Amino acid sequence: MVREDDPYLWLEDVEGEAALDWVAERNAETEAALTTDAGFAFLKGRLREVLDASDRIPYVVRRGAFLYNFWRDAEHVRGVWRRTSLEQYRKDVPAWETLLDVDALRAVEGEKWVWAGARVRHPAYDRALVCLSRDGGDACTVREFDLSTLAFVDDGFRVGEAKTRIGWIDADTVFVGTDTGPGSLTDSGYPRTVRRWRRGTPLAEATPVFEAGAGDVAAYAWHDSTPGFERDFVGRSVDFFRAETYLLAPGDTPVKIDVPLDARAYAHRQYLVVSLKSDWLGHRAGSLLAFGFDAFLAGDRTAEVLFTPDERTALAGHSWTRRHLILETMRDVSAHIEVLTPRPGRGWARKPLADVPALSAATVVDTDPDVSDEFFLDVSGFLQPSTLYRGEIGADTEILKQVPARFDAAGLTVEQSFATSPDGTRVPYFVIGPDRTDTGPGPTLLYGYGGFEVSLTPHYGAVTGRAWLERGGTHVIANIRGGGEYGPDWHQAALGARRTRAFEDFAAVAADLVARGITTPAMLGAEGGSNGGLLMGAMLTRWPHLFGAIVGDVPLLDMLRFHRLLAGASWIAEYGDPDDEADRAHLRAFSPYHQLTADAAYPPVLLMTSTRDDRVHPGHARKTAARLRGLGHQVLLYENTGGGHAGATDNERSAHNSALVHTFLWQHLSRRRTPLASPPVTD
């Protein structure tokens, strides 16, 4: 392994006294520069109002007769887990039954608990495995919860804080992968082993059923509890994108599901459903296939093709009802949705489920695959607040909930354009804002991600609407390579040494916005988080002349040490391995932390992170801020002590963080140029 001198390694000590003292000084500088702005308090209040609004849609999932929801507002700061009936849910103000009040639990136990979800036992829906995170980290504790008595089970299943994977097998047994001591975790910090754990026995004595390698990302297991199709599966994530899955035959004998490593495969009743990421058996990458499960295990590779992509259309998702499959696709990043119905011996019938407006998103929120053809469908757009529909396939659809407009959209429009990247690729982007024909260029915020096959689709952003659009700004979403907007090929085009294509795409969109007269470099800001924070680092170090300000949220910036920090080893398949000489050169070439220089003209930078982020180490943002300061450049750092990778654990903190970001951007990009106080360079 090649070692390089790094004077700021001490900032990787997450809870170290010296590091936290330094962070406190940076936070004070940022608060002084931004919270004293004349509009900060008003903006924060407006954003908090949106986040706490009682007329938000309480999205639900069906578990038997009840609809379950987790809810936060001004009264329930950390939130309540609750349920209601469909009859009540149809009302403007449903009667909810509170299952677990996280604020009350926090008060009793004196711990900063954050809700991390629950696995409700199927099909009885009588018990749950509740996951609670300490102040927002990915690691969580697990406790069994009784849904009849609404209390934790004293002698029930319990697991201490870890990045645990757990799920029900039957009333008295679970599959669990967690930290049980040396050798039980992979290099990425996730479970290496899976055990079958019976009620009333020590976790240490649970029966091992599968083990992954230390260099794998994780081991996993699950029980298919579909009545009449009960089966157990185990597997290992070889890396972030490749996995091996096995059916557990009698005697815990693993039978490999023989699909490509990069395919995603699962059993649904009599089917084996396979989503392809590479070409296979004459089918294109991005296709969705269905096989007879038993026939596949017997060697039959005859597939029913449920979806085939083309150069403009990609699969966005799919959901089963009792007798149908709902297929969500994107055509040039705009949603389309249809229903597929199997007809034995005659293929699958197809028809539209709903008409979706252009440049909009349609998402299946939940279905009821065991019992009925019920579905919940959410439809929204950049200027179109969400509408939640409920229906049963073949019957009428009803509007259950609608969000009122949260910001003034008068004079605002939405358009989709395409920029041309240096290699000739057409890169789509959405522009939301006022018509600049008469006003001329104005403040513009360009957002991007470009990684892990994550697609940026249309959505109604009330916070962005109030913080940016209402004030006269333009918001732009760039659908750059590395994402999934055009399927696996769009993602793979920016893997490893090709990562720079994502950066070039984003810069091409920025240049196109200037060329079209929408903005100028001085009024163009850029924002991205996590992998998008790496994108921001690339903009800072490669194209600083294109931007007037840059914000990186929980950013990934040191590309030579990312694999040694927290969950970083799990991302080697996306970026490359710094310990491999074949990858190290390209990683160093685009590592923002290593490309900073004293003589560059960088725009002002704000880096946001969290002490409790146990996914992307806060050291990335800390060290980059320190190096920028040491080189004499203007930078602000704000590190929330809690919040995890999300950056916040409640609406108060979310509003505060968003107000910091948008105040910073407005100070530097609007015609009202409020100077940013430059801290002394004394590192």
Q: CA–CA distance from 348 to each of 310, 314, 605, 650 (Å)?
A: 19, 19, 53, 45
645 is catalytic: yes
Burial class (CB in 10 A: 0-12, 13-18, 19+), 501: buried
Q: Tell me how far apart the alpha carbons of residues 60 and 89 are, in angstroms, rounded to a whole number.
A: 9
- For residue 443, give the H/E element and its range: none
Find out whether 616 and 563 touch, Cβ atoms under 8 Å: no
Q: In this structure, what are the phi and psi dihedrals at residue 164, rounded to the nearest 5 degrees?
A: -85, 145
DSSP letter string, 97-136: EEEEEHHHHHHHHTS-EEEEEEEE-TTT--EEEEEEEETT
Q: How many beta carbons lie within 10 A of that of residue 515, not counting itself?
A: 9
Token pair recorded at residue 28: 């004070």
Q: Which of 248, 225, 216 is nearest to 119 (CA)?
A: 225
Q: Identify whether 459 is a catalytic site residue.
A: no
Q: How far is CA 617 from the centre of its chain?
A: 17
Which candidate in 530, 570, 610, 654 is catalytic? 530
**Secondary structure letter of residue 599 according to DSSP:** S
Candidate list 324, 563, 645, 656, residue with the active-site label: 645
CA atoms within 13 A on the CB side of 391: 16
Amino acid found at 580: D
Residue 308: count of CB within 10 angstroms of its CB: 14
At 258, list the tokens. Answer: 């023989």
Kindly list the strands in the beta sheet with 264-268, ordered across the sheet, starting from the edge strand earlier in the chain: 264-268, 271-275, 288-292, 304-307
CA–CA distance, 617 with 557 (Å, rounded to integer): 10
On the 0-12 / 13-18 / 19+ scale of CB atoms within 10 A, 545 is exposed
224, 538, 579 from 196: Cα distances, Å: 15, 45, 36
What is the separation, in whole angstroms, between the first and last Cα of the chain?
28
User: DSSP secondary-structure letter at 491?
Assistant: H
What is the number of H-type helices and E-type strands within the chain? Answer: 15, 37
Beta-carbon contacts of residue 670 (< 8 Å; ≥ 6 apart):
443, 471, 472, 473, 523
DSSP code per residue over 55-102: TS----EEETTEEEEEE--SS-SS-EEEEE-HHHHTSSSPPPEEEEEH
Judge contact between 319 and 349, C-beta under 8 A. no
**Residues designated catalytic:** 530, 645
